[in-house]
Amino acid sequence: MNIYYTADGERGYEDIASLYESFRDDWDDDPSDRRDIHVEEWTTRPVREHVNADHWIDGNVEHLLEYDLEEAGDDDGTLAAKLEDRAKDPAVRAAFTAALDLLFTGVSWWVADKVIARHQITHDADGKPLFDGKPLYVKRDPHA
């Protein structure tokens, strides 16, 4: 599955028409408001591949020390050193990885991975959208 973004956008769309239609309301059907749209086409990967157990462990240890265990009286850094040492244990890392795998079971969310193409949406003389120079919307014969 590929996702389409405007070159400066933060929201991905599963198809070009949806991306284009997200601009239409801004143009109020006034052809002079229409502008070219630069589009990037991205490959995707499952969101679980984006989430790294090492970052979760390190981030959680840091959060524990700065917020949750702030009042534990770790003036000499002993608790911090112990937690940071335990966080390096392969068994702890494996447990976090297993927990993340379980957490993401059944989650069918995708994140953008690599840009594979750049496209442009322009308009013909009648104001109809063109995707890379070809009509974005194609009339189909319902009886064909």
What residue type is 77 in one-letter code?
Answer: G
In a shared domain, residues 85 and 59: yes
State yes or no: pLDDT of 19 exceeds 80.
yes
Asked, for residue 70, whether it belongs to a domain, the answer is yes
Res 91: pLDDT: 95
Given a contact cutoff of 8 angstroms between Cβ atoms, the answer to whether 46 and 132 are in contact is no
Where residue 29 falls among pLDDT bands split at 50, 70, 90? low
Domain count, the chain: 2
CA atoms of 112 and 42, how far apart (whole Å): 6
Query: How does DSSP assign 70-81, residue by residue?
Result: GGG--TTSHHHH
In a shared domain, residues 41 and 62: no
In a shared domain, residues 43 and 65: no
Where residue 31 falls among pLDDT bands split at 50, 70, 90? low
In a shared domain, residues 71 and 40: no
Asked, for residue 126, whether it belongs to a domain, the answer is yes
In a shared domain, residues 94 and 113: no
Where residue 128 falls among pLDDT bands split at 50, 70, 90? confident
In a shared domain, residues 98 and 76: yes
**Residue 123's domain spans which residues?**
2-47+109-135
In a shared domain, residues 43 and 74: no
Where residue 2 falls among pLDDT bands split at 50, 70, 90? very high
In a shared domain, residues 57 and 19: no
At 38-56, the pLDDT tens digits run 999 999 998 888 888 888 8
At 57-110, the pLDDT tens digits run 888 888 888 777 777 676 677 888 888 899 899 999 999 999 999 999 988 888
> Which of 53, 52, 56, 42 minimizes the C-alpha distance to 111?
42
Asked, for residue 8, whether it belongs to a domain, the answer is yes
State yes or no: pLDDT of 11 exceeds 90.
no
Res 109: pLDDT: 83
Residue 73: helix, strand or coil by DSSP?
coil
What residue type is 10 in one-letter code?
Answer: E
Residue 39: other Cβ atoms inside 10 A: 21
In a shared domain, residues 83 and 113: no
Asked, for residue 23, whether it belongs to a domain, the answer is yes
Reading across the β-sheet that carries 134-135, which strands appear in turn? 2-6, 37-46, 110-123, 129-131, 134-135
